[in-house]
Amino acid sequence: MTDALTLDGVSAARGDDVIWSQGSFTVSTGGIVGVIGPNGSGKTTLLEMILGLLPVATGRLTVLGAAPHRGNPRIGYVPQNYTAGIGEAIRCRDIVTLGRTGTRWGFGGRSGADRSAVDAALTAVSALDVAGRRVSQLSGGQQQRIAIAQALVGDPDLLLLDEPLANLDVRNQHEIVELLRDLHAARAVTILVVVHDLNPLLSILDGAIYLLDGHAHYGAIGDVVDSELLTHLYETPIKVVRTAQGDLFTRS
């Protein structure tokens, strides 16, 4: 089976500024993988390289067995603060439909297959009942569901989520995590989640890409949840606590 991501001496740069370098690791398909690191360490930059929006500065990056290229239909993508800019002008159903038809020329003319794919994606995120509402009329958690439905509608092999839990309250964070768990169980999809707080996702992550001291690494989640590593990563003292629900980490 092809790996989801293969990095071979990859470095990321914007202009002349090298953001991180020496990324050499493989992420196999089928897992849920966190992307962690302090602010400005290059988490979104990694996503942009996978999407083909930003060229790889050096080294070789392979995405699902091929070189990254813009418009890759095998990738679903939810940017950070995705729904904030969308507002009242469009219905949930339309925004999800655009995820499937938005690259075609012309207008109107949704096929039956388009319609059922949109319904299936909305059903997968439990948002079919709000499909007719405007995006702005939904709560933050519901908006995130719509965004995920749009990314799912193309039936991707790789799902990239940039801070899907940002600006959500604890209950909605939990619901989105449950949703990711369910989606992962139901589909053969590799999920890459950029997070600044690992805790809510710990129970579902198989591994994590961590950006430490200007270098990219990958580790199984058991190795990443380590007091010393996390303390180094976030430059603040962090203690890992074992609880009945699983591991949690906290500032010590």
Q: Which of 15, 71, 112, 242 lies at the binding interface for other proteins (CB under 8 A)? A: 71
> In a 3-state reduction of DSSP, which class is residue 252?
coil
Nearer to other proteins, 8 or 197 (CB): 197
Q: Is 138 in the site for other proteins (CB under 8 A)?
A: yes
Q: Is 199 in the site for other proteins (CB under 8 A)?
A: yes
Nearer to other proteins, 26 or 139 (CB): 139
Q: What end-to-end distance do the CA atoms of the chain give, in Å?
A: 42
Look up residue 117 and give its two tokens: 């794919």
Nearer to other proteins, 9 or 102 (CB): 102
Look up residue 48 and give its two tokens: 């942009």
Q: Is 58 in the site for other proteins (CB under 8 A)?
A: no
| Contact (Cβ atoms closer than 8 angstroms) between residue 57 and residue 70 | no
For residues 60 and 8, give the distance between their C-alpha atoms in angstroms, rounded to a whole number: 5
Q: Where are the alpha helices (DSSP H) in 187-238?
A: 221-224, 227-234
Tell me how many residues contact other proteins (CB under 8 A): 54
Strand 215-220 to 238-243 pairing: unpaired
Q: Is 181 in the site for other proteins (CB under 8 A)?
A: no
Binding segment (CB under 8 A) for other proteins, from list 5-13, 25-33, 173-181, 208-216: 173-181
For residues 173 and 19, give the distance between their C-alpha atoms in angstroms, rounded to a whole number: 29
Could you list the residues that contact other proteins (CB under 8 A)?
51-53, 70-71, 75, 77-79, 82, 86-91, 94-95, 98-99, 101-108, 130, 133-134, 136-139, 141-142, 150-151, 170-171, 173-175, 197, 199-200, 234, 236, 238, 248-251
